[in-house]
Structures are given as C-alpha cells and as structure tokens.
Amino acid sequence: MAAIAAVHAEAPSFDATDWLEIVGLYDLLVQIWPSPVVALNRAVGVGFAQGPAAGLVALNALAEEPILARYGYLASSRADFLSRRGRTAEARLSYEEALRLT
C-alpha cells in the first residue's frame, strides 16, 4: 500500500500517474491481501492504464461480489468510465446508484 501511495505522490499530476505500475502493485497486493475493495481499486487502475472500456470489463467482473453490491465506489467508478465512453444515460443511472449507496 505504501508503494501505491508513493507512485501517486511522485506523479507531478493525475495524468502523469504511472497507472501501469499502480496496476502491477495492486496485482501483488491482491495476492497477499485478497479483498473485494483491493480488487475494485485494481480495476480502477486498469481503467486509467488501459482506458475506460478495459476498466468497465474489470469492474463488471466484480459486479457479483456481495460486499461491493452495497459499496458506492463501485457504482461511481462505473459511472465515470461510462461517462468517459459517452454512455451518458447509463452513467447517470450509475451516479444515482452511487449517491443512494453513499
């Protein structure tokens, strides 16, 4: 977790974040601390490293996780990636879901 925080801290801007390194670090973290939230954070990293379509695929793989079904960050992450793909109506529904879960 400290290494992930360091990558974020060292980036001069959000856009300059080394998202591939972030994903690699989450790959390691999920092995030693398997958690739905760690998997969600990894999926978000995938979306920033490889684009919103890849992020949606990674998020969809987590959709059946019971803990994340009540976790607003899954819905808000999905909404962001949908919005970036121009899927506005779906994004709006996901943002509304995120608000209900917050």
pTM score, two decimals?
A: 0.93
- At the second CATH level, the architecture of 2-10+17-101 is Alpha Horseshoe (1.25)
Tell me the pLDDT of the chain (102 aa) as tens digits: 999 999 999 999 999 999 999 999 999 999 999 999 999 999 999 999 999 999 999 999 999 999 998 999 999 999 999 999 999 999 999 999 999 998
| Single-letter code of the amino acid located at 91 | A
Whole-angstrom distance, CA of residue 43 vs CA of residue 55: 6
The whole-number pLDDT of residue 56 equals: 98
Please state, in angstroms and as integers, the Cα–Cα distance from residue 101 to each residue in 14, 34, 68, 69, 72, following that order.
26, 23, 10, 9, 5
The whole-number pLDDT of residue 27 equals: 98
Q: What are phi and psi for residue 51, nearest 5 degrees? A: 105, 160
Q: CA angle, 15 as apex, 9 and 20 as ends, to 5°? A: 75
The whole-number pLDDT of residue 16 equals: 96
